[in-house]
Amino acid sequence: MTVTVTPTTTATPRTRLKVPLDVRRMDFVLVGAAVLLSMIGAALIFSATRGKLLAADEDPRLFLDKQMINIVIGIILGWAVSTVGYRTLRASAWWVYGAVLLLLLAVLSPLGTVNNGIKAWINLPAGFSLQPSELAKVAVILAVALVLTQLGPSGAADADVQPRLRYVLLALIVAGVPIMLILAQPDLGTVLVIAATVFGMLAVSGVSSKVLWSMVALAVVAVTLVMTTGVLDDYQVDRLTTFMDPERDPLGAGYNTRMARLAIAGGGLFGFGLFRGPTTQGGFVPYQQTDFVFSAAGEELGLVGAGTIIVLIGIILWRGTKIALAAPDRYGRVMAAGVVVWFTVQAFENIGMNLGIMPVTGVPLPFVSYGGSSMFALWIGIGLLTSVHLRSGRPR
């Protein structure tokens, strides 16, 4: 009897590439829009500054190189925050808040430096500087979200729990301390952004409409007092009121907005092309790499380019809203909503003052304007949104 032995072959299983969970579940639309905005901003900053630097016999890439360093550091900070986890940051919220308060106090000390009438920076080596008021936006969001979510179940993010009045008052005090320190600089633009952000967080947390309307009334009274009691310099008051009548002082307080609007209007549909805008290259718009960078986009990239910037900002806000709605707990929802409101108010205010429909307050255009502290804070905001997203159901 012949026995045939059939050799058994063992199939070698294919090796699957293991991708870390955080990478697989990253919101590439959110991060990609922020990266693309940052790159567009760097190009516009280079275009708006190289002519002035060449005329001054300086390196024409000075602002570009610094901004690229700012972007890289910002992305690293955002990645670090997303990996730490927002629940860990929640436990460290008071430490972050306290550190920022110390920096704001340092600004008001002899360590602070004055620029354009505002004492808001601390000089660092290699020509860099730190603006603690930008970091205060992050600290206030972390701390206020912590206070507003002290009551109620920590599970479902859609729990209909109204914060107790004492927590609402405590949240206002927590936000009010850095606001007063920033107002002492004085930097009204940042104060308005923080105040609007806190208001949005209160609304998302379930605070009653009566309390919210009372806050609106108090805010109107506060703004009136600030503008009439000498807290702000005369030129700052003029900048705030000129938007109601831009032609009242076209060569003075209304000059910046007037030239920005002329640059945007001259760009037409497709613009003159990068490095070819006559107003931008002639240096006729002051602070064009910071406050009025959107005017450079309008002139050199036209309606299409400026519209692309608005669309990218809209994508970030859309993804941030989806992340807030899908947050696994109340803290994640309120915190993510705070970041979204912050980005929204700052973008609307900057673009609005370039178009002459909002007062000139000096707030930067998110991810586009030149500035290290602003870029760091914005990317930390992206990191906070990503952290919530990675620990919740993926928003569709």
DSSP 378: H
- Residue range 371-377: mean pLDDT, rounded: 94
- pTM summary value: 0.86
Q: Domain limits of the chain?
A: 37-390
- Beta-strand ranges (E) seen in the chain are 112-115, 118-123, 129-130
pLDDT in tens, 276-300: 999 999 888 888 899 999 999 999 9
The residue with tokens 């009897």 is 1
- SS3 for 212? helix
| Closest CA relative to residue 202, chosen from 216, 223, 188, 191 | 216
pLDDT over 90 (residue 86):
no
**DSSP of 78-129, one letter per residue?**
HHHHHHH-HHHHHHTHHHHHHHHHHHHHHHHSTTEEEETTEEEEEE-GGG-E
Per-residue pLDDT of 205-231, as tens digits, reads 888 778 788 878 877 787 777 667 666
pLDDT computed for residue 383 by the predictor: 95
Q: Does 303 have pLDDT greater than 90?
A: yes
The DSSP code for 251 is T
Closest of 104, 107, 100, 105 to residue 123, by C-alpha: 107
Local structure of residue 130 (DSSP, 8 states): E
